[in-house]
A and B are shown apart, each in its own frame.
Chain A
Amino acid sequence: MSGTKFVFALLIAAAAVFGAAWLIGNNYVFFAGYVVLQYIALATAWNILGGYTGYVNFGTAAFFALGAYTTVVLHKLTSLPLPLMMPIGGIVSGVVGLGTGYLTLRLRGAFFSIATLALAVVAQTLITNWDFVGGSRGAYIVRPAQAWLFGIDYIQYLFLVMLALVVIVLASARAIERSRLGYGFATIRDDEVAAEASGVPTLRLKLLATTLSGAFMGMAGAPLPYYVTYLDPTSGFSLAYAVNGVAMPLVGGTSSWLGPVIGAILLGTLQQVATVTISSALNLLIVGLMLVGFVIVAPNGILGLLRFRDRRARS
């Protein structure tokens, strides 16, 4: 399927999803659905760096929260509409990704990963100390009752915006996979030294992946303040984002754009259901256990299991 056809298919799927949610008529669907869509965007963004190039980012929460807090700042200073705030959040997180990468990507991958872990803690510290965005007391954002778009409920509008972002991120991920860039990323993952010897500018590509990944995560975080209406560092930088960002692509499968989608839908829905029935800590424990379990037993994720069965069935 060509790139344009894929985008068309995504748009149709998106329209179908929105339509189905609309028909159900209960706004809770939009609230829950927003979270799942957000995770699809986050997981796919993570995978552009982690799955394609093999560099592990543990600081998903940092990039995500920086996007959210950019919105808080913009909301206080301007009256920009959300679709304009998102790219700005993306730029902020993208630049942070670039910076982290620039300082650490010439060294071993492990240093990059450690730096992202530390980054999450530091970013949270900085935000907690910044009174303009509310510091540790948090910030209140008023969510309008209705959006400018046909006067639909604002939560439906947020759902739509996140849906649009998912289409963009998925289309980008797939486009990368099939392009020269995708080959470059794969060689970095497989054998960086051999990649360099074959003419691949590994540092440049790694920086590109880090920036893109960070930017998409920032964009996924940008609408958050309107969704939660109260944002404080503890929830913005929540551990849930860090572990889900890693677990969803690894459980779903890192080799293609489809893996993070599967992982996000599976784990995202699981958590939405579980939050109602069991505590959120137990919820996260299950995600952690699934992560460790899959990584040991099924390293190629659900996609890998499906392909394995497929190949066995054929022979």
Chain B
Amino acid sequence: MARVVTGMTSEALLQVTGLGKRFGGFVALEAIELAVRDGERVGLIGPNGSGKSTLVNCMCGTLRHEMGSVRFAGHTLDGRSAHERTRLGLARSFQLPRPFNTLSLAENLRVPLLYTVNARHGQALAPHAIDRRCAELLHIVGLADKATNLPRDLTQIEMRKLELARAMAAAPRLLIADEAMAGLSHNEVDDILALLIRLNEQGVTIILIEHIMRAVMHFSQRLVVLVAGRKIADGDPADVVRDPDVVRAYIGE
């Protein structure tokens, strides 16, 4: 069936409308509007504590938001548990890595393959295909030689790579990479960047949350800025970084 290109009237892949989240008296997020189109590369930046991870948690179902709504691929996500959202195609890596400590690296990757990919109709992989895919993913992030190790044998950086690989294992339509490059060397940043761009070329929409500005500028087709729980900018990266509000937010830090 031919894809009808209707431009602005087609629904975004991810649609966040009026999202609000409070912790007791503290307003973590307020009136967040975000639309991510299929195939886009979006960068999300903001000072520490601005609510980026909270936003990710609300979109992915780890936290329940009180106001607003999230739609993904035509489905309403509100009220759905996190695992349902992952199965629908929305995957994320955690800012602070959360590996399964009693499972080996390869087994860590088996989990999303068994529980997300294999849970989708008509996509179930046979056991040897699963093993192959685990090996493939580990190779892509450069952890192939540690397939049988436990996460406690890894460095912080390697754990971030595992985190990213695990999100990729869920075969998402939209991947949210939450500070996957923190602490990486210059070359390693380039490697991960290349990996993500390749992923995007294969059709995966990506939201990149990062502090490393050169990576964000290189990667993003669109840049969104979050400060103190509110979105203060959303548009072309070159324009956004010159926006006086954005500059003030970062210099005022």
Contact = CB atoms under 8 A, between A and B. Distances in A.
* Direct touching of A and B (C-beta under 8 Å): yes
Looking at A180, A189, A198, A255, which has the most chain B CB atoms within 10 Å of its CB? A198
A198 B166 contact: yes
Given A196-B83, A197-B92, A190 B103 contact: yes
Contact of A199 (B94, B100, B103, B170): B170
A-B pairs, 5 with minimum CB distance: A199-B116, A196-B82, A199-B115, A194-B98, A190-B100
A197 B60 contact: yes
A200 interface: yes
Interface of B: 60-62, 81-83, 86-87, 91-92, 94, 98-103, 107, 110-112, 114-116, 118-119, 166-167, 169-170
Nearest to B93: A197
Given A180-B114, A183-B107, A197 B62 contact: yes
A191 B81 contact: no
A203 B100 contact: no
Nearest to A199: B116
Given A187-B111, A193-B62, A199 B102 contact: no
B82 A197 contact: yes
Given A186-B103, A203-B81, A198 B112 contact: yes
B86 A199 contact: yes
Interface in A114-157: none
B158 to A, nearest CB: 16
A201 interface: yes
Given A187-B111, A191-B98, A203-B81, A198 B86 contact: yes
Given A196-B82, A197-B94, A200-B115, 13 more contacts: A180-B115, A184-B114, A190-B101, A194-B98, A196-B81, A197-B62, A197-B83, A198-B116, A198-B170, A199-B116, A201-B115, A202-B83, A203-B81
Contacts of A202: 83
A199 B92 contact: no
A298 interface: no
Give the most central of A186, A189, A190: most B CB within 10 Å. Answer: A190
A189 B102 contact: yes
Contacts of A187: 100, 103, 111
B94 to A, nearest CB: 7
A306 B87 CA distance: 40
Nearest to A202: B83
Contacts of B112: 198-199
Contacts of B111: 183-184, 187, 195, 198-200
Interface in A186-229: 186-187, 189-191, 193-203
Contacts of B62: 193, 196-197
A193 B102 contact: no
B135 to A, nearest CB: 17
8 contacts: A183-B111, A190-B99, A195-B100, A195-B111, A196-B82, A196-B83, A199-B170, A200-B111
Interface string A58-90: 000000000000000000000000000000000
Nearest to B109: A198
Contacts of A191: 98-101
Contact of A197 (B86, B102, B107, B110): B86
B115 A190 contact: no
A217 B115 CA distance: 29
A201 B81 contact: yes
A186 B99 contact: no
